[in-house]
Structure 1
Amino acid sequence: MTFHRNERVLAFMMLAIVGLSILAFLSVIIGTAAGLNARDFAGGVWPAVFTLPLIGLPIGFILIIVLLVTTARRRGREAKAEEAANLAKRGSSPARGKK
């Protein structure tokens, strides 16, 4: 199975976004368990940490769907090309065998 550049880029983007979102989610859980209250989370970098999973996880899900569709379309094109090459190698056309 070969991955083309676009598929590789989509896969790494999806992994990075989902990975950062999970790390942000875990940091909020750890901060809450460490005793931080709502006032502590209101300042600094915490608002961005709270917002990242809300935005990142849906974007990651969309990227997974785009990656699946892209891969399926490429594999379909490759299968058609391979079938045409096999038919040409045998010396028959696709319409000849059908009646």
Structure 2
Amino acid sequence: MTTQTPGEDVPVRRIDRILAFMSLGLLALSILCFFAIMIGSAAGADFGAWIWAIVSVIVWIAPILAFVLLVTVLIMSFVRRTRANRGR
């Protein structure tokens, strides 16, 4: 005899997937930009150019946004599971 766990049949919505993949993408972009700065400084690149300013801002802002998106996905899934469990 199996017991059904609460919230087992709650479907994953499209917005949850989009936010999760956006979070993952922002983290990957941040890591790539970090390595670009490391390689650029080793190669002696001119960091006065506008592109390096954008790359450095991405390194600082993207992980914070990724964390906020991940927390948003978690809160949305907790609320959805709570509502589904109350309906039973």
Of the three residues 6, 18, 21, the one matched with 1:9 is 18
What SS does the corresponding residue of 1:42 show, helix, strand or coil? Answer: coil
Measure, in 2, the Cα distance between the counterparts of 1:44 and 1:5.
Answer: 36
Q: TM-score normalized by structure 2?
A: 0.77
TM-score (norm 1): 0.69
The yes-or-no answer on 1:27 pairing with 2:33 is no
Alignment of 1:46-65 (within 5 A): 46-65=52-71
> When the two structures are aligned, how many residues end up with a matched partner?
79
- CA shift, 1:61, in A, is 1.0
Structure 2: 5+ residue runs without aligned partners?
A: 1-7
Asked which structure has the greater RCO (Cα within 8 Å, sep 6+), the reply is: 2
Identity %: 34
* RMSD over equivalenced CA pairs, Å: 1.7
Per-residue CA deviation, residues 10-62 of structure 1 (Å, 9 max, x unaligned), is: 1111112221111111111122233x25xx11115211111111111111111
